Chain A
Amino acid sequence: MKKLSFDIVLGGLLVFGFTYLVLLIAGAPVLDAFRHIWLGAFSSSIKISQVLSVWVPLTLCSCGLLFTFRANLWNIGIEGQVTMGAIGAMAVLRIPFIEHPSLVLTLAFLASMLCGGAWGLFAGFLKTRGGVHEIFGGLGLNFVSQGFILWLIFGPWKRPGIASMSGTELLPRKLWLASLPGWRVASAGIIIAVAVLILTWLFLEKSQLGLKLKAIGQNPKAALLYAISPERFYLQSIFIAGSCAGIAGFLQISGVYHRLIPSISSGYGYLALLLVMLSGYRIILIPILAFFFASLNVGAIQLPIVLQLDSALSGVIQGCCVLSALFILGIRQRRARS
């Protein structure tokens, strides 16, 4: 326990020191920058609800990634899986003849899971059948899905008259997920994210699947001897990851943007990869760290306006957190060996 708190303090110092240095180089007021990030994230209930609406997709993607990391797969394609989930949801939401809003939303939810999962399976099959490493398959598919969404927005789904980067037409109000008065985050999104968190915990810690994934991740050859086929579990885990990412895409559409925009995934997939690495693959830390990352993201939005700084500062802090954590881990492992 003492060791852990020491590590956290050391990591915090490293991150703070590096960010301080970066801000000094940029010639920016250091304390002001931190203060504005804090204000940007927590100064009003609207801001806090914005943080929560970023927390939801981050948590969902991270839960999915826990499955693939457990099987020692680097599911870098999660970004594209979010995008494809959003596209699948949008395709259902655009069906004109279903009257009942809750039916359409349920169907869209299922479609997003299926589309995201299928996109994950695609990368999985590329690995098991095509011999394409999942990093390259996943990355390639990310760019393919990006091209696909752009084609949809500028082609078949364009707004009547004008096609632009601002996206498709807004959905009718009845297809927006409801939120509590005064809050700008869909309550259903938070409920879904919490439910997925609990389910992920149950699956990974209390089920056969979790155990087998662990066996494969740690030693695929030995797992094969115990009649656990790595390929099948690779595919299963990447399908689950894709489905979680797909749900995130669905919520981005029906809960946040209410339309399809080119950057619908907003880089949350990549950010979730960082987050899961930082958590050391421990599910208990996921919701806390997701909240931390989300508040950085939201807090940095107003930096360009108040301080003329680029909002990429949040990414600098997040990346630095992960590298510091890795550094501490490496140092500690080295000390344990010698």
Chain B
Amino acid sequence: MIGDLSLPMLIASVLAASAPLIIIALGETLAEKSGVINLSLDGVVLFSAMAAFVVAKETDSLLLGFFAGGCAGMLTGIVVGYFSIYLHLSQVAVGFALSLLCRDLAYFLGNPYSRVQGPAMLTSKLPFFDALPSSLQIILTQPLTVWFALLLVALIYFFFSFSKAGLCLRSVGENPAASFARGLNPAKIQMMAVLAGAFLVGIGGAAYSLSLKPGWGRPQGAEGIGWIGLALVIFGGWNPIRVALGAVFFAFLQVSGIGLQDLFPGVPSQVFQTAPFPLMIFTLIFMHYSTSRSRKQGTGNRLQRLAGKLFMSRAPRGLGQSYRQE
């Protein structure tokens, strides 16, 4: 128990806070599995959050708001995809420049809408809700985004593991030249993966401005989330289920940061909000060591092997390189 939060409340707020993160990180996983790093995440989250809020406010429709968020994300995906796949430019350079551009664009265009009341997604009840014990009721009182995020985890997992399209996407990410020889079109598949991933990132951004932190302003509250999302993909070893678990873990850190603030009133809340970042570095170091160790010695003691298996991960081989058709 942290601060004033009881256990069911804690679980409920962690779930709510993790939903947008899961959606964003899974979107990035989709792109990276095909071999393209989309570094523009941080700006795109803000840009799509702004677009979603403005459209939802003007049309008074949440559904259109989410759709607009996704489309705004996809728009940036076109830039990332065209520049890095078809023009063969550095994916990092394009992503970073686009990230700053999108952030400022969001602040600039969203300015008239800052601190304005707008529609926000309420929590919805499940059909068999009243039959449940009260602690479960607290946990399950969630906005639709949470259920969408959980469904998405399963969908993406099955897509990668059991569908032919998923197999094609992964093979392009591992070895585009070989995939081309097998009759696939790497550029087209990568472009589709980037666009779909960016659409999801946009939905995740919309989930911030329409549900988790309703409204728009400077700062919105979603700043830095994109960078966490990028780290989560590595943390989760490009495996959708582990990525989602990582998102839940980081959401727990954020929520407990708010709780810790009650314990240390002299420390400003912004200090606690930076907590996920040093932890991200630690996990990355830990991952590096357990991966390299378990590779070197196939037989360690059982605990070492377990740690190696848990944290063992490998990036898609073709990640970050642009493929030129011979």
Residues of A within 8 A of B (CB): 22, 25-26, 74, 76, 126, 130-133, 135-137, 139-144, 146-147, 150-151, 154-155, 270-271, 273-274, 277, 308-310, 312-316, 318-320, 322-323, 326-327, 329-331, 333-334
Q: Cβ of B83: which chain A residues have Cβ within 8 Å of it?
A: 323, 326-327, 330
Q: Cβ of A130: which chain B residues have Cβ within 8 Å of it?
A: 281, 284-285, 288
Residue from the list B266, B274, B284 in contact with A132, Cβ < 8 A:
B284
Given contacts A312-B104, A315-B103, contact A150 B268 (CB under 8 A): yes
Contact B266 A320 (CB under 8 A): no
Q: Cβ of A273: which chain B residues have Cβ within 8 Å of it?
A: 96
Report how far A5 CA is from B105 CA in the complex, Å.
28
22 contacts between A and B (CB under 8 A): A131-B292, A136-B230, A136-B280, A139-B277, A140-B280, A142-B277, A143-B274, A143-B277, A147-B275, A154-B271, A271-B100, A274-B96, A309-B111, A310-B218, A312-B107, A313-B104, A315-B101, A315-B104, A316-B108, A319-B102, A320-B101, A322-B101
Residue interface mask B201-240, A partner, CB < 8 A = 1: 0000000000000000010000010010011001000000
Q: Cβ of A326: which chain B residues have Cβ within 8 Å of it?
A: 83, 87, 89, 93-94, 97
Task: Determine if B109 is an interface residue (Cβ-Cβ < 8 Å).
Answer: yes
Report how far A147 CA is from B100 CA in the complex, Å.
21
The 4 closest A-B pairs by CB, nearest first: A319-B101, A330-B87, A315-B104, A131-B288
Task: Determine if B152 is an interface residue (Cβ-Cβ < 8 Å).
Answer: no
Report how far A197 CA is from B280 CA in the complex, Å.
35
Q: Cβ of B97: which chain A residues have Cβ within 8 Å of it?
A: 274, 277, 319, 322-323, 326
Q: Cβ of B100: which chain A residues have Cβ within 8 Å of it?
A: 270-271, 274, 315, 318-319
Task: Determine if B267 is an interface residue (Cβ-Cβ < 8 Å).
Answer: yes
Contact B234 A136 (CB under 8 A): yes
Report how far A330 CA is from B284 CA in the complex, Å.
33
Chain B residue at minimal CB-CB distance from A139 = B227
Report how far A136 CA is from B277 CA in the complex, Å.
9
Task: Determine if B168 is an interface residue (Cβ-Cβ < 8 Å).
Answer: no
- Expressed in whole angstroms, the minimum distance between the Cβ of A336 and any Cβ of chain B is 12
- Count how many chain B residues have C-beta atoms less than 8 Å from C-beta atoms of the other chain: 48
Contact A309 B108 (CB under 8 A): yes
Contact B109 A25 (CB under 8 A): yes
Q: A139-B277, A315-B104 given. 16 additional CB < 8 A pairs?
A: A25-B109, A131-B285, A131-B287, A132-B284, A151-B267, A277-B93, A308-B111, A310-B111, A310-B218, A312-B103, A315-B101, A315-B107, A319-B105, A323-B79, A326-B97, A330-B88
Q: Cβ of B98: which chain A residues have Cβ within 8 Å of it?
A: 319, 323
Given contacts A25-B109, A312-B104, A315-B103, contact A150 B284 (CB under 8 A): no
Docked complex: B264-295 residues within 8 A CB-CB of A: 266-268, 270-271, 273-275, 277-278, 280-281, 284-285, 287-289, 292
Residue from the list A26, A154, A271, A308 in contact with B267, Cβ < 8 A:
A154
Contact B89 A329 (CB under 8 A): yes
Contact B89 A330 (CB under 8 A): yes
Report how far A333 CA is from B86 CA in the complex, Å.
11
Given contacts A139-B277, A315-B101, contact A22 B87 (CB under 8 A): no
Given contacts A140-B280, A270-B100, contact A312 B270 (CB under 8 A): no
Task: Determine if B258 is an interface residue (Cβ-Cβ < 8 Å).
Answer: no
Q: Cβ of B109: which chain A residues have Cβ within 8 Å of it?
A: 22, 25-26
Report how far A313 CA is from B109 CA in the complex, Å.
9
Residue from the list B87, B110, B280 in contact with A334, Cβ < 8 A:
B87
Chain B residue at minimal CB-CB distance from A326 = B89
Chain A residue at minimal CB-CB distance from B270 = A150
Q: Cβ of A314: which chain B residues have Cβ within 8 Å of it?
A: 104
Contact B230 A76 (CB under 8 A): no
Q: Cβ of A150: which chain B residues have Cβ within 8 Å of it?
A: 268, 270-271
- Expressed in whole angstroms, the minimum distance between the Cβ of A78 and any Cβ of chain B is 12
Contact A140 B281 (CB under 8 A): yes
Report how far A313 CA is from B101 CA in the complex, Å.
10
- Expressed in whole angstroms, the minimum distance between the Cβ of B106 and any Cβ of chain A is 8
Contact B281 A137 (CB under 8 A): yes
- Expressed in whole angstroms, the minimum distance between the Cβ of B73 and any Cβ of chain A is 17
Report how far A147 CA is from B97 CA in the complex, Å.
25
Q: Cβ of B292: which chain A residues have Cβ within 8 Å of it?
A: 131
Report how far A315 CA is from B111 CA in the complex, Å.
14
Given contacts A151-B271, A319-B104, contact A331 B281 (CB under 8 A): no
Contact A132 B94 (CB under 8 A): no
Given contacts A150-B271, A326-B89, contact A136 B94 (CB under 8 A): no
Residue from the list B92, B101, B273, B285 in contact with A135, Cβ < 8 A:
B92
Of A76, A140, A277, A327, most buried by chain B (CB within 10 Å of CB) is A140
Q: Cβ of A139: which chain B residues have Cβ within 8 Å of it?
A: 227, 231, 277
Contact A147 B92 (CB under 8 A): no
Report how far A74 CA is from B230 CA in the complex, Å.
16
Chain B residue at minimal CB-CB distance from A154 = B268
Given contacts A146-B270, A147-B274, A150-B270, contact A132 B288 (CB under 8 A): yes
Contact A136 B281 (CB under 8 A): yes
